[in-house]
Amino acid sequence: MAMRYSFLFGVSRILTRQTYNICLKQNATTAIFPVYLKKKEVLKKLPIEQDDPDVFGTLSSRVNLGSHKFDSMTNHELSVDEGDVQEEKYLSFQPADRKNVEEFELEIKQLIDDKKLKDALFRLEVTMKEDKVKPSREIFSMLIGACGRAGYTKKAFSLFNVMKKRGHYPAQSHFTALFNSCANSPWKNDGLQRATMLRQQLIDRNTVLNRAQYHAMIKAFGHCGDIRTALQILDDMASNQVSITTDSFNFLLHACISLPEDGFTRAVLVWRRLRNMRVTPSIYSYNLILRAARDCGSKDLNGKHRPIESVLLLEEKTYSRTNNPLDPAILTTSELATVTNQLTVYPNLLAEKIHSNNVMALKDLERPENRLALLGGIEGFLAEMSKDYVKPDIKTFSLLLETIASNPSEEKKLMEQMKACNIIPDVAFLNMFIKKRQFRQDYSRAQEVLNYFQEYQLFPDVMTFGVLATGCGSLKEANALMEDMDNAGFRLNIEIFGSLLKNAIFHKKCYYIMQLLNRAAEINLALDEKAIKILDKFKRETKEAMGKHDRGLKVPGFYGNERFRESFKVFCLGYKTHLEKLEVALDPHPWQQYRYPLAKKDKPDPSHLFNNIKNVQKEK
């Protein structure tokens, strides 16, 4: 044992003397006091001579020099490792040099609140990566939710996958955001495919869902046109003992609106189910059923049965036709509005109990005013809202205005009901009023609506001039409208220009068209794809019609008019020149506003895009 300790003591003395001599050679002043050197400084300043007999192998034993310890070194001079440099640089960051994850969370939240999704995504995917800050689950949650609300479906699912790869466990709110992204997707097929895949994954994993997830699923499948799956999800809510509320039916009604052919029929069935389950409708429920009556048809489901007549219990009636003209076997919805009130009980599909003893069958449900008659008309609809203690709002009357028959008597009745309900019209309502009268070419009454602006102290907006532009059938009227816009401080936009252009083409006034193109060039107005297509269609169809006239075929007489032919010839000569002067604003990709600029090598050729604009396909 004594020999072992003496051997170790000898080795220690040799190493200590060697270290002292090397320090003396490097710096005489610091060699006297080697204990003041830092560990890293000593390691950098200690070169080791090759084949030094005093170095005992390459053991990694530690030696003492005073109160400090030094690692044994190899026989070669120490080299700097790049990985160690990067690690040292990373560890040398101070809190003042970079933001922490909490500060990034606040910044990203503020950007999302300010509707700057592109900048928020840049913070996550670029800034945080450069600063080597690991994103938290809260950051992923905020960005997935924001992408879902914006309809950026691809990015929402991409962030969800990145979050899982980083070890963050998905929460229920993430699934809600993903289904919302499918509902808001610009492409229904892509949204439906992703929603179906996500729902199947949740079913396979036996995931317990809450009401928010079920509502998001109904919204997603409803917006994408899969109403059957949306109804099935409602049944799943009942089987899983999740309470069904008014919002559940509102999402279903919204799903019915996405079906243009039989959406009204579906909405009526959903409403009857709402009544059977004793759920009280809200203002949103009434507005949604009005939208269904305005926008959707009432075709038979699968061509097998007539569900609306089933709701009215018409199939079970065996009443015979009488000589009374007020009690017909088949009653059209327009006749429902004209039959005397003393003998007729209007069938109101919104009521808890439907009274339809005087109706045997229905037909002519293609017009929105006829579908509104099945909901009780203006008076019956508002009366049903009053029974449910629901007060109508300006949105309700705006939908009623678009649904009622286009005649002065119905419009007068609607304005009287507005005053009775103490609802003050807004600018959007009056703009819609002007548009309705313009479409039936009642231009004098359309001008009378402007008196309501003064009565209710409202100011016209750019949409007011837009609906007025639909009635400008001549260049004189168009010039007067554009002059009024200049006086009011509004600039001619592409929507108003498009309305004027449609009127000019409808009346086949080539000089009118040329003057509009000149005005667009003067104010540097960029044409959109719709305007270009309208002009190209007019040019093509006019040439074909003139060719048929020259061959003796039957076409409208003005195509053979010499004055029209001369004006069309002038239009064809100047059309190409005007297109060269005017800019063409192509419709951007729906997700382009959230993307970063591409690198130069990745930028596509603009001419290639322009040539293939008609072949643009959706991005999934």
| Domain co-membership, 206 together with 154 | yes
Tell me, yes or no, whether 188 and 246 share the same domain: yes
Residue 502 belongs to a domain = no
Split at pLDDT 50, 70, 90, the class of 226 is: confident
Question: Residue 32 domain-assigned?
Answer: yes
pLDDT (average), residues 131-150: 90
Radius of gyration of the chain (CA): 39
For residue 593, the 8-state DSSP code is G
Q: Which residue has the tokens 């439906």?
A: 192
- Select from 382, 405, 431 the last residue of a domain: 382
Do residues 138 and 62 both lie within one domain? no
Residue 298 belongs to some domain of the structure: yes
Return the residue matching tokens 């604003």. 585
174 and 129 in a single domain? The answer is yes
Any domain includes 23: yes
* Contacts (Cβ under 8 Å, ≥6 apart) of 97: none
Q: In terms of domains, do 131 and 263 share one? A: yes
Q: What percent of the chain has pLDDT over 90?
A: 21
Output the CA torsion sign for 70, 74, 80, 86: negative
DSSP string, 439-476: HTT-HHHHHHTHHHHHHTT----HHHHHHHHTT--SHH
Q: Are residues 25 and 172 in the same domain?
A: no
Q: What pTM was computed for the model?
A: 0.69
Residue 603 scores a pLDDT above 80: no
Do 117 and 171 have their domain in common?
Answer: yes
149 shares a domain with 59: no
For residue 152, is pLDDT > 60? yes
Taking 70 as the threshold, does the pLDDT of residue 268 lie above it? yes
- 517-552 tens-digit pLDDT: 888 888 888 888 888 888 899 999 999 988 888 888
Q: Is the pLDDT of residue 393 over 90?
A: yes
Q: Give which of 487, 488, 486, 482 is closest to 501, Cα–Cα.
A: 482
The dihedral over CA atoms of 273, 278, 284, 290, expressed in degrees to the nearest 10, equals 50
Are the CB atoms for 345 and 357 separated by under 8 Å? yes
Which tens digits make up the pLDDT trace of 24-54?
444 444 433 344 444 444 444 444 444 555 5
pLDDT band at residue 470 using 50, 70 and 90 as cut-offs: confident
Residue 10 lies in a domain: yes
* pLDDT of amino acid 103: 87
Examine the fold and report which residue of 80, 110, 136 is the final residue of a domain before the chain moves on: 80
Number of domains within the chain: 2
Is 310 contained in some domain? no
The stretch 265-282 carries a mean pLDDT of: 90
Q: Is residue 453 part of a domain?
A: no
Same domain as 376, residue 264: yes
Q: Are residues 29 and 139 in the same domain?
A: no
154 belongs to a structural domain = yes
Q: Which domain holds residue 71?
A: 2-80
Chain-centroid distance of CA 428 in Å reads: 22
Do residues 373 and 226 both lie within one domain?
yes
Question: Quick one: what percent of the chain has pLDDT higher than 70?
Answer: 69
Summarised one tens digit per residue, pLDDT across range 327-369 is 333 334 444 444 334 334 567 888 888 766 555 556 667 888 8
The mean pLDDT value of the chain amounts to: 76
